Structure 1
Amino acid sequence: MRKHSILFFMGGIFSLMIAMGIGRFAYTPILPLMQKELSFSNTVAGYLASSNYAGYLLGAILAGAIPLKQYRTISLRISLIISIFTTALMGLTYSYLLWNVLRFLSGVASAYVFVLSSGIVLDKLATTNKTNWSGLFYGGVGFGIFLSSLIIPILNQAFQWEGTWIGLAVVSGILAFFVWIWFNDTSSIVETKNKQETFIQVPPTKWLPWLTVAYGLEGLGYIVTGTFIISIAEKTSSFHNHATLVWMMVGLAAIPSCLIWSVLSKKWGYVKPLVLAMTLQSIGIAMPAFWISQTSFVISALLFGATFMGITTLATTLGRQINPSNSSRTIGNLTAIYAIGQLIGPTLAGVLSSFTHNFNAALVGAASVILIGAGLLLNGIQFERKSKKINKSRNFSL
């Protein structure tokens, strides 16, 4: 049973590596390679990124709205197939229109995989009282980013940017084989009842809109760095065609980050770590606007990698605890508002950078938006204090 649980967990991690780490975020390090060969503007790059996030928004809404409780495994598998094929096809066409369509479909698929795999894994962890393991699961995005950052320079040198997309699709296909045989939704009605007894509302349901708005602002702000950090680094004299190293730093920091934030949430509750993570992230995002050097980009990448998936881990786990009876819908709604922010962010940043001829204003704006989101979360700390008292009284009564 223990071996089966480990394989199940690895299957969940691989699913995030495919759809998120590669299918969704590989665009960031491949973008400067495509721009170098094809010379399209930052505005066009922003539109391509926004197409992906528009698809992500639609996928999140559909995954949250359509009841898929009985069909989560098959829906996840179909979404993985779409993700792999859209990644491969990016390297087989030179049409901006088709690229936008492919990035849109990839976004739909990645949202489905994220929402469904999150629901399956968090439900499973809830039944065994190991919700803090969610950090390890969400580390799959960091593993995917790190893996792609290792592979992309090799593929680009051998096959140019076209072969890079195709090669990543092949790697994704190999990982998908293991997802297929290891990762299945085994939740049951009995387990659902247990879940509802396991969690109390911390903070209560009425606080969920605050979390939702703050998470939307996070989506709006973080995606500017998530889309353009390599392009920004590539244009500085500090890197000289080695800007993919910055993305590698993001992946390395992201791998353990979710686990670390989960451990902190065990000690502090969820709101305090969320506020801290968003504050640190805003500092990292703004840094290259004021200090341009290899050191500043590495620190920025590490702060970004250490927080962006940690924030997702904390927000989705907290959202699930607030409404445990319908985890996929709650996570879907949070992911949808996050995706709305992502949809707006790259377009605004792309247009702004084309107008100002740099990304400084976009970076400062993104950092400011995230700080505002962190401020909105502060009133949740009082609810967690009350909740701890309720937890203690429950434990004594048991």
Structure 2
Amino acid sequence: MKSISLLDKNSNIAILLAGIIALIIGVGVARFVFTSLLPSMLENYLTISFAGVLASINYVGYLAGSIFSVFIKDINTKVKFFRLGMFLAVSTTLMLGITTSETVWIISRVLAGFGAAMALVVGSAIVMNKLNIQNKTKAMGIHFSGIGFSILVSDFIVRIVFHFNGTWQFAWIVLAFFAFVMSFYSMYILSYDKEVKQNSVKHHIDKSLFSPFVIILIMAYFCEGVGMVVQGTFLPDIINSLKGLEGFGSFTWTLVGVAGIPSCITWMMLAHKYGSVNIIILAMFLQVIGILISALTNNVYLNLLSGILYGGTFIGLVALFMNLGGKLAGNNPVMLMGALTTAYGIGQVAAPLYSVALIEHFKTYDYTLYVTAFIVSGGIVLLILTKIFNLKGE
């Protein structure tokens, strides 16, 4: 029986493990752990308005990095930018633990967003390139389960720090140390012993790609970007703000990570059997239910379910939209992937800003949740219209 070496750069298991660790660092530590720490930071440092600004500019950095990464063709250059992403994830996290300068925090969150894009978009491209397996789609489903692990692991570290009466500042420092140590494995495995020779393929702008269906798909993905980021930024504080649910926010966020781990594989399997558009509509509908729960009831079990519905849908929806976009683009994915990513990113940037305005005006999260549910529902209606008018999608 052939032994498995986790230090073998060409081992599929090592490649997938390195990719998941990269997501834990780049997505968990550099992006989502902000949500875990938000209730604590709101108690003695952040205002809700500044928290919204920080969330928004983090997604500005991520959007810029995502669009930039689409145009990095050379795999050797990808490796360099992936390493830059790991460095940014670690250094910007450390900054949040050792200073309370608002200027430093703003710069750090922008750069952390860019680093997250390098870890997720560029790192995933390296994983896919290195995998030596016939069915890469299933393997990439395993890789993207790392987004769920990123929430779970980073939240677990925060819980340990708080268990020993640590502060949120110390939590950032511990997270930075964890990311620093673990990043070496990902950077080692997701690299090449010698420069890879690649033929440069230039894709020209093909306006015919942007059919009525594709335009609607892009608009629906914008709506999903809004739906993803509101709970992704505020969910623990939303739960803690409900009468009788003080302290349940952290546990709800843990459930988000648990539900997120198998979601990508599950939704992709369903899409293969029942069609991508049908499953996207179903997933977005479940997400709307999860969003509305906290505005309509303070029942503990239903609000825990809201976390499960969020974690169980948002990761899968990214995979569903991007997979469908890839199918529609054929051999010319750059423009279509860029358009989808941009629309999603604009939704992510805008949502925290209107959320903060509504929260400050009404002194409750309810109206933010109503507006968010309405926008995501708009995306569902758009996709249903493509079915009614039989617009070509799949």
Mark yes or no: TM-score above 0.5: yes
Could you tell me which residue of structure 1 aligns to residue 34 of structure 2?
A: 27
Superposed displacement of residue 130, structure 1? 3.1
Structure 2 CA distance for aligned equivalents of residues 100 and 6 of structure 1? 37
Structure 2 CA distance for aligned equivalents of residues 218 and 127 of structure 1? 32
Q: Letter of the 1:259 partner, please give it.
A: I
Quick check: 1:306 aligned with 2:312? yes
Could you tell me which residue of structure 1 aligns to residue 217 of structure 2?
A: 211
Q: Relative contact order (C-alpha < 8 Å, sep 6+): which is higher?
A: 1
Does the CA contact (< 8 Å) of 2:229 and 2:351 recur in 1? Answer: yes
Superposed displacement of residue 239, structure 1? 3.6
Distance 1:181 1:288, change over 3 A: same
Does the CA contact (< 8 Å) of 1:125 and 1:134 recur in 2? Answer: no
Could you tell me which residue of structure 2 aligns to residue 255 of structure 1?
A: 261
Query: CA offsets, 1:156-176, max 9 Å, x none?
Result: 344300011111112222321
Distance 1:176 1:303, change over 3 A: same
Q: How does 1:141-160 map to 2 (within 5 A)?
A: 141-156=147-162, 157-160=164-167
Does the CA contact (< 8 Å) of 1:63 and 1:328 recur in 2? Answer: no
Superposed displacement of residue 359, structure 1? 0.7
Does the CA contact (< 8 Å) of 1:258 and 1:313 recur in 2? Answer: yes
Does the CA contact (< 8 Å) of 2:145 and 2:260 recur in 1? Answer: yes
Does the CA contact (< 8 Å) of 2:142 and 2:265 recur in 1? Answer: yes
Query: Secondary structure of 2:98's match?
Result: coil
Could you tell me which residue of structure 2 aligns to residue 195 of structure 1?
A: none
- Match for residue 189 of structure 2 among 182, 186, 189: 182
Superposed displacement of residue 241, structure 1? 3.2
Distance 1:326 1:106, change over 3 A: farther
Quick check: 1:119 aligned with 2:129? no
Q: CA RMSD in A?
A: 2.8
Could you tell me which residue of structure 1 aligns to residue 205 of structure 2?
A: none
Query: Secondary structure of 2:359's match?
Result: helix
Superposed displacement of residue 342, structure 1? 0.6
Does the CA contact (< 8 Å) of 1:125 and 1:131 recur in 2? Answer: no
Quick check: 1:234 aligned with 2:248? no
TM-score under structure 1 normalisation? Answer: 0.86
Does the CA contact (< 8 Å) of 2:218 and 2:343 recur in 1? Answer: yes
- The structure with the greater share of residues assigned to helix is 1
Superposed displacement of residue 2, structure 1? 9.9
Quick check: 1:343 aligned with 2:330? no
Query: CA offsets, 1:132-189, max 9 Å, x none?
Result: 3332211111101011221112213443000111111122223212211222379875
Superposed displacement of residue 69, structure 1? 4.3
Superposed displacement of residue 124, structure 1? 5.7
Q: Letter of the 1:73 partner, please give it.
A: V
Does the CA contact (< 8 Å) of 2:288 and 2:376 recur in 1? Answer: yes
Could you tell me which residue of structure 1 aligns to residue 379 of structure 2?
A: 373
Query: CA offsets, 1:314-358, max 9 Å, x none?
Result: 112222233354556654442222111111000110111010000
Q: How does 1:1-398 map to 2 (within 5 A)?
A: 3=4, 4-38=11-45, 40-122=46-128, 128-156=134-162, 157-184=164-191, 206=211, 207-325=213-331, 327=333, 330-378=336-384
Does the CA contact (< 8 Å) of 1:8 and 1:184 recur in 2? Answer: no
Superposed displacement of residue 253, structure 1? 0.3
Structure 1 CA distance for aligned equivalents of residues 286 and 26 of structure 2? 26
Could you tell me which residue of structure 1 aligns to residue 206 of structure 2?
A: none
Does the CA contact (< 8 Å) of 2:12 and 2:131 recur in 1? Answer: no
Superposed displacement of residue 53, structure 1? 1.1
Percent same amino acid among aligned pairs?
A: 31
Query: Secondary structure of 1:304's match?
Result: helix
Gaps of 5+ in 1: 193-203, 388-398
TM-score under structure 2 normalisation? Answer: 0.87
Structure 2 CA distance for aligned equivalents of residues 132 and 205 of structure 1? 28
Superposed displacement of residue 11, structure 1? 1.4
4+ runs deviating over 6 angstroms: 185-188
Distance 1:383 1:132, change over 3 A: farther
Could you tell me which residue of structure 2 aligns to residue 199 of structure 1?
A: none
Structure 1 CA distance for aligned equivalents of residues 186 and 31 of structure 2? 18
